[in-house]
Chains A and B, each alone.
Chain A
Amino acid sequence: MPLIDDTGTPRDAVLPVPVDATATFRTVRDAAVLALAFDGPVDGKAFSTAALLRAEGYTGILIGVGPVGLDRLAQGFRVGFDLLEVSDQELQQLQHFHLEPFPFYYQPSTPRKPDLKASA
């Protein structure tokens, strides 16, 4: 089942972004797949949560769900998301953007694992 509905809204199964990533990690450390909701296309809270979960040692598949925002695709992968699930409409626009527009970054310790899929 897609994690996102036809309007681009994350379904209930997706975790809202927690403030305390350390506590969340204790709960989800053995989960094979974890989905985090983006609250909006300019909301960066999920980016810190993803980075912290990776820093804590979460090794499962991390999925970002919802409106990622056009300029943030590569950033999402760099903070540790494996996969971003967006609306079909946003996917059409994102396909025109390069996944890795920059040849270098100043933050070498952030992970980079790009992949992108549509919800449908």
Chain B
Amino acid sequence: MYQYNLIDQAIVDARVTQFAEQMRRYLQGALTDEQFAPIRLQNGLYLQRHAPMLRVAIPYGTLSSQQLRKLADISRRYDRGYGHITTRQNIQFNWLEMAEVPKVLGELAQVQMHAIQTSGACVRNTTTDPLAGTVADEAMDPRVVCELVRQWSTLHPEFASLPRKFKIAVTATEVDRAAIEVHDVGIRLKKHAVHGLAFDLWVGGGLGRTPVIGRRLLADLPVAELRNWLTAVLRVYNLAGRRDNKYKARIKILVYAMGLQAFREQVTHRYLSDHDPALRIESGELETLTQIFTRALNPRLESTLPTNAAFTRWFNQNTRPHRTTGYRVVFVSLKRPGTAPGDLTAAQMEAVAALAEQFSASEIRTTHEQNLVLPHVACSDLEALWQALGHHDLAHPNMNLISDSIACPGIDFCSLANAPSLSLAEAIHETFEDLDEQAAIGPLEIKISGCMNACGHHHIGHIGILGVEKKGEPWYQLTIGGRDQKGAVLGQRLGPAIPHDDVVPLIRRLVDLYLAERERGEAFVDYVDRCGIDALKEFSYATH
């Protein structure tokens, strides 16, 4: 794992000191709410419906056991004993006292963590494949590039006040597990005959109230020039992006308004005219970082695995192949009945931290589907790990199944939301609690957002649910057929909004229809493609 050097630590420590002073002056009344807002936001601090919320960065979703223990400790001492994994692979604490936030940031800095740029109109936490460094077909470990982007973008003097937030995702495999096509900038790393390592640059994707699939801006660029190209993109955006209307301020709107070709010409012009040799990534820098991120594992003989049904179900659903013989990647489900998606208690954090130490080289990943990953588990340890996870209610075998839904905090916590999200996730769990049925249904991703800001990524759910307000009551708009892999697709609107209590029954009927009509081996999302939106719309509303 990446370890801070003296410069990293000095920057984070200085930011804590600076923010503590800013907070002190705010609490004394020397700064107004308006003056303090951009300051606190760029330090990850929101004022939510009930209390201040702190979003802590987990760069590229990689955590150590020590860091997870500290998060548990903070949640217990400063919050209400739990944390919430977000769709940007970060963690949020929802019940902090404002005055204690500087102390929390100070404690985070002790374990090389921070909340810098987890909010505000700046470059946010760069996300990537949670399986990075474990899969055989990746061009390189994408976290190497993520770390370079993290350093380049942290407290960048030119890009700290962009028109709007700016999200970057990186993938290094053909199967895109980082959803790069729905990010402001997506980077697809690949091997290249001339450059050795190259990348395709995608731009202008995003969800929110104007969902857009990103487009490939440039292809086959040498990785050595990544920072210069990113600088060029950000400069064009910073200079020409709209600031008069925050709903028109994301880069996707600029790309649409200019046209892809004109945007490409401007970016290329900036790259050529502003090229900075100091931004070039030298091969030694790449090699050093690659070594840091590489986990050397000794291949092991394949073990004989238990044959009991419960273990087999968990193994099939929650583990994936590892590139090193004798190892598996283990998903830890944070989608259990009675719990908000992505939530885990302090005790569970401590348990996972200990299990990672024992079984996974002290390394944990967070996923944008709001689960955890133990990336390097020997097959011979799987049974013991499964049993230990089960003791902490963390062995629910539902990865990618209907109960593995993504949900934003919704109106229960978020001051922007129109409608509850968590209660729907819970109702889905209750309706589809039979694990045999979930397995029979197969992959079906439900994503729930409590408002148009789409923090629950509903546009790319196989079934997407959007909370809207109708005469003061929460109603829900369903979309269907969205996805973020194998070529991202935005879901199509199924029909008019429906009341809260009608949502899960409609999903039940759609699933039953799918089970009755699917062809052999046909996944739900493929069935939706085959049926077409019109037929499903008619079915959904004819009997509603």
Contact = CB atoms under 8 A, between A and B. Distances in A.
Given A93-B31, A106-B155, A109-B276, A44 B161 contact: yes
Interface residues of A, number: 39
B151 A106 contact: yes
A48 B239 contact: yes
Contacts of B273: 22
Contact of B157 (A42, A52, A55, A78): A78
Interface in A58-111: 69-72, 74-76, 78-79, 93, 96, 98, 101-110
A117 interface: no
Most A Cβ at <10 Å: residue of B11, B38, B39, B155: B155
Nearest to A111: B157
Looking at chain B's contact residues, the main secondary structure is: helix
Contact of B243 (A45, A55, A74, A93): A45
Interface in A39-55: 39-45, 47-49, 51-52, 55
A108 B155 contact: no
Given A75-B160, A93-B30, A106-B155, A39 B35 contact: no
A17 B193 CA distance: 43
Contacts of B160: 44, 47, 71-72, 75
Contacts of B18: 98, 101-102
A102 B157 contact: no
Nearest to A100: B14
A75 B529 CA distance: 50
Given A22-B273, A93-B31, A106-B11, A44 B22 contact: no
A21 B266 CA distance: 12
Contact of A21 (B7, B10, B38, B239): B239
B163 to A, nearest CB: 8
A85 B140 CA distance: 48
A10 to B, nearest CB: 16
Looking at chain A's contact residues, the main secondary structure is: loop
Interface in B439-482: none
Most B Cβ at <10 Å: residue of A19, A79, A93, A101: A101
Given A45-B238, A103-B10, A69 B161 contact: yes
A70 B243 contact: no
B90 to A, nearest CB: 20
B281 interface: no
Contacts of A21: 239
B36 to A, nearest CB: 8
Interface string B276-298: 10110000000000000000000
A44 B235 CA distance: 10
B522 interface: no
Nearest to A102: B14
B39 to A, nearest CB: 5
A44 B11 contact: no
A22 B235 CA distance: 13
B42 interface: yes
Contact of B161 (A22, A43, A78, A109): A43
Contacts of B278: 108-109
Given A19-B239, A70-B39, A71-B42, A105 B158 contact: no
Nearest to B279: A109
A120 B159 CA distance: 30
A42 B161 contact: yes
B195 interface: no
Nearest to B34: A41
B238 A44 contact: yes
Nearest to B240: A19
Contact of A110 (B30, B157, B239): B157
Given A43-B243, A48-B235, A101-B17, A71 B158 contact: no
B210 interface: no
A96 B276 contact: no
Contacts of B11: 102-106
A96 B158 contact: no
A26 to B, nearest CB: 12
Contacts of B156: 106-107
Contacts of A106: 7, 11, 151-152, 154-156
Interface string B158-194: 1111100000000000000000000000000000000
Contact of B39 (A71, A96, A109): A71
A101 B12 CA distance: 11
A72 B239 contact: no
Contacts of A93: 30-31, 35
Most B Cβ at <10 Å: residue of A22, A44, A102: A44
B501 interface: no
Given A39-B243, A42-B121, A78-B157, A69 B38 contact: yes
Most B Cβ at <10 Å: residue of A76, A104, A110: A104
B155 A47 contact: no
Contacts of A44: 121, 158-162, 238
22 contacts: A19-B240, A39-B243, A42-B121, A44-B158, A44-B159, A44-B162, A47-B158, A51-B158, A70-B39, A71-B42, A74-B157, A75-B157, A75-B160, A79-B158, A93-B31, A96-B30, A101-B15, A104-B7, A106-B152, A109-B276, A109-B279, A110-B158
Given A39-B243, A49-B239, 18 more contacts: A19-B239, A41-B35, A47-B160, A52-B235, A55-B276, A69-B161, A70-B35, A71-B22, A72-B161, A93-B31, A93-B35, A96-B21, A96-B25, A102-B15, A103-B14, A105-B11, A106-B152, A107-B156
Interface of A: 17, 19, 21-22, 39-45, 47-49, 51-52, 55, 69-72, 74-76, 78-79, 93, 96, 98, 101-110
Q: Which 4 A-B pairs have the closest CB atoms?
A: A44-B161, A75-B157, A78-B157, A109-B278
